[in-house]
Structure 1
Amino acid sequence: MATCRGIDVSAYQGTQSWTALKADGIAFAFAKASEGQKGRDARFATHIKGIKAAGLVPGAYHFAWPNQDPKAEAANYIAAVKPYAGKGFTHWLDLERYSDGRNYRGKTAAQIKTWVQTWISTVQSAFPGQRVGVYTSADDLKSGHVPAGTPLWYPAYPWGAAAYSKAEAAAKPKPSGWSPMIWQFTSQPVDRSICYMSAADLRAWAGGTTKPTPAPSKPKYEPFPGASWFKEGRKSPIVAAMHDRLVAVGCNHYKSSRNKDVIGSGDKASYEAWQRKCGYSGAAAKWPPGKASWDKLHIPNV
């Protein structure tokens, strides 16, 4: 299953090097914008400007207080994100109970679900054509707080601190029969998530495309040609196939697509990003490709 990587941040995190994070394989990033009827995140503007400037799939989230007015909370969120939202921007309702229950107090499960529906519909009306989803826990899903069919960003931390590669290799969680679109699998050292789409398909979805790009039909395996085969300037259909697959998995460091059947500096940078995404670091992540990462990329024949 194709996946891509992301993080989310709030005022608790300082300024990030978003371009460096993108180079390391991050494809999407979400920032806290607001909370309740009046709360605003102090670092939202800094975070979201950096996310957008780096070319990541951007998103913002609002921390919910279901025992307050949903339209007032939606209005607070809308005002916070309006200067930055546009085509391809995603919106998320952070629906989680404080440990003392103060933001859920006095509300039934049915009332919370109605509150969520109202918040979502109000935000969707403010940003036509833009995606709106919910971040919530297994307990909230079990309690029926989320309307069916809502895009789900699901937090569950089975290991504590963990690398992206561990989450990518694990089975997709299915809380209460839901199929999450995004899984936040750790909060250490920052909130890390994987999306169950390729980077290209996530960008298309965020931009309003309802169907993901179809996968190539019955791709054939190109045997690993050996490290010495990969020299700059080599021309082969295999190189074009490698180019297309690296773009599809979100490792696009190409400044131009011209002569994509010839190995060049863009291929090197993109493949090194892929090897970092596979969990390699230091010298092990450098060009040329290794057989293990080549096999995982699964180059189709052309």
Structure 2
Amino acid sequence: MILRRALILSLLALAACGRPGNPPPADPGTLFPARFSDSDPVDFHGRNPQSFPVHGIDVARFQNNIDWSTARQNGVNFAFIKATEGGDLKDINFDTHWQGAGQAAVKRGAYHFYYFCTSPEDQARWFIRNVPRTPGMLPPVLDMEWNPFSPTCAHIRPPAAEVRDQMHRWLAVVERHYGQRPIIYTTPEFYRKNDLGSFKGYDFWLRTTAKTPAEAYPSQTWRFWQYSATGVVPGIGGDVDLNTFSGSRADWQNWVATRAAR
């Protein structure tokens, strides 16, 4: 009986520690410093992204077999995960990434890549169909950039006023469903040509891998900066996009408390 009890206690202790080489997820409120490298680093000659304390990644079908627990403990505090494109395409790795990030207590959000050959309402419904409204999730993201690779939409570039109208319609449908105003992701060229600076009251996620946001988007405030497409993160095979949040650790905690889905 004594030996049996000792064996049971030993097994319970081992289970509490997690499997060897696979540590249990850290406390959800813990923020880890970025232990990233870059296969093609850039000198921004100004306020480098490393000066910000909260970093994360964005992922899509190109990233496979992510060890989310390892990635988190090396500085992946948040992740934006590609969910959908247009009105009928779902990223093949979305479900796996969504579940893995959630299990590792990574703050996660989903994004939609916009097509100009499908109505914004159809695209919003497709996103809603595939992205579960999950308590604690980050606001949904509308990815606005020209799409040169689509076999059906690459040549469609509506006037700026029409672009903004379609964006407003998608944003309105998605905001009603998730109860949070979406984030707008964009590139310098798309931002300029379509006057996205006219969108007031929205959080922006800005791509700029050669200049700082202040240089690439003069006068535009931002919440997230995608500063590298060639990040090297433990737990992730191959290059991955790196991002940083615009404020302090306290700013991050306050922003999440306000903007996460309930």
Q: TM-score, normalised by structure 1?
A: 0.60
Cα RMSD (Å): 2.4
Cα displacement (A) at 1:207: 3.4
CA contact (8 A) 1:4 1:198 kept: yes
Alignment correspondent of 2:208 = 156
Alignment correspondent of 2:169 = 118
Matches within 5 A, 1:111-260: 111-128=162-179, 130-146=180-196, 147-158=199-210, 173=215, 175-188=217-230, 189-208=239-258
Matches within 5 A, 1:285-296: none
Q: 1:106 to 1:17 in 2, by over 3 A?
A: closer
For 1:36 and 1:171, locate their aligned partners in 2 and report how far apart those are by CA, in whole Å: 28
- Where 2:77 maps in the other structure, the secondary structure is strand
CA contact (8 A) 2:206 2:213 kept: no
Cα deviations across residues 91-147 of structure 1 (Å, max 9, x unaligned)?
Answer: 11111102368356151110000111111111000011x341111011122123532
- Where 2:69 maps in the other structure, the secondary structure is helix
Alignment correspondent of 1:95 = 144
- Where 2:258 maps in the other structure, the secondary structure is coil
- Runs of 4+ aligned residues of structure 1 deviating over 6 Å after TM superposition are none
- Higher RCO, Cα 8 Å, sep 6+: 2
For 2:155 and 2:220, locate their aligned partners in 1 and report how far apart those are by CA, in whole Å: 22
CA contact (8 A) 2:148 2:154 kept: no
For 1:11 and 1:71, locate their aligned partners in 2 and report how far apart those are by CA, in whole Å: 25
Structure 1 counterpart of 2:217, one-letter code: P
Aligned residues: 198
Alignment correspondent of 1:246 = none
Q: TM-score, normalised by structure 2?
A: 0.69
Cα displacement (A) at 1:5: 0.5
Cα displacement (A) at 1:50: 1.1
Q: 1:204 to 1:79 in 2, by over 3 A?
A: farther
- Segments of 5+ residues of structure 2 without an aligned counterpart are 1-50, 231-238
Alignment correspondent of 1:271 = none
- Segments of 5+ residues of structure 1 without an aligned counterpart are 160-169, 211-302
For 2:143 and 2:103, locate their aligned partners in 1 and report how far apart those are by CA, in whole Å: 24
CA contact (8 A) 1:64 1:103 kept: no
